[in-house]
Amino acid sequence: MSRVATIVLGVAVLAIILGFSSTYTLSEHEQAVITRFGQPRGQSITEPGLHFKQPFVDTVNRFDKRWLDWRGDPNQIPTKDKKYIWVDTFGRWRIVDPLRFFQRLRDERNAQSRLDDIIDGETRNTIASFALIEAVRSTNRPFEDDEYTTEEERGESQEQVAQGRDKLTRQIRLRAAEIVKEFGVELVDVQIRRINYVDEVQVKVFERMISERRRTAERSRSEGMGRAAEIRGQRERDLKEIRSEAYRKAQEITGKADAEATRIYADAFGRDAEFYQFMRTLEAYPQVMDRSTSLFLGSDSEFYRYLRSSKK
């Protein structure tokens, strides 16, 4: 390769390097601050597309334009009515002034740390200023009470909400948003994700709930046993009444049947008295005599009257 070609190739490579070093592009979701030896140069760049900078000495510091998530750590906070709870919050924020953001916080990691301090602090101050019911509920809608509701739950259901959870979270956001403005950050939302009792209180609450449920179960069981005994007693009374009525009707029917039979017998035997005497005598023979019976009667005994007549 000739010396001229080598020089041309070197110039081309240098031009390419200078071109890449002096230009940069921003996407739709990016914004940037140009620094020279660590110091900002000019205003922040927010427009997407191709941009120019001093090669080798300028550095592009990119920041996201989009809404970013913030998730706080659960904090143990005492409420105004001395109930210790865990409060877990989250929020949404974005960088609206990249230059100020860079000057005050440098990067998103530091921003998250500062948001932790500010939002968690405002959450603690706000929650500690109100009773637990204010952080839990947003309206005074009545509780759905049932037989399993504890006495404490019934007492809490009668408490009136003056502010409510929505207003508390709005208050937290407004106070925190006012502070984070100086960092070039906009805080658009803060919400309470979860509220729970601390472990020591939670165990006591669960024990109280279990005890209350047991008392309710025992009361229901006792009422059930009493009702069962009442039903069994009523059943026995009804059964005796039914049996008594059935026995009375059976005796009444039997009496009527016996009377009818007697009437029929009397009517039949009344037509022929001799035949009646004959039948009654024949019925008496097997009742009086068997193979082991010995009778000493005269031949003219009235008992053998029909036997004698049968031999003739």
Residues 191 and 79 in one domain: yes
Q: Name the token pair of 193.
A: 């994700």
Q: Which pLDDT tens digit goes with each residue over 137-172?
A: 877 776 565 555 555 555 555 567 888 889 999 999
Cα 281 from Cα 292, distance rounded (Å): 20
Residues 124 and 171 in one domain: yes
Residues 148 and 42 in one domain: no
Cα 297 from Cα 287, distance rounded (Å): 17
Into how many domains does the chain fold? 3
Question: Per DSSP, what are the bridge partners of residue 99?
Answer: none
Residues 37, 18 contacting (CB under 8 angstroms): no
> Which residue type sits at 131?
A
Residues 72 and 171 in one domain: yes
Does this model's pTM top 0.95?
no
Q: Where do the DSSP E strands lie in 183-276?
A: 185-197
Write down the residue that tokens 């403005």 correspond to: 181
Residue 47's domain comprises 3-64
Q: Name the token pair of 168.
A: 């508390």
What pLDDT sits at residue 18?
Answer: 65
* Range 190-212 average pLDDT: 80
Average the pLDDT over each of 76-85, 122-131, 248-257, 285-294 and give the range with the smallest value.
285-294
15 CB-near residues (< 8 Å, 6+ apart): none
Q: Which pLDDT tens digit goes with each residue over 252-269?
A: 899 888 888 888 877 776
Return the biggest CA–CA distance within the chain: 181
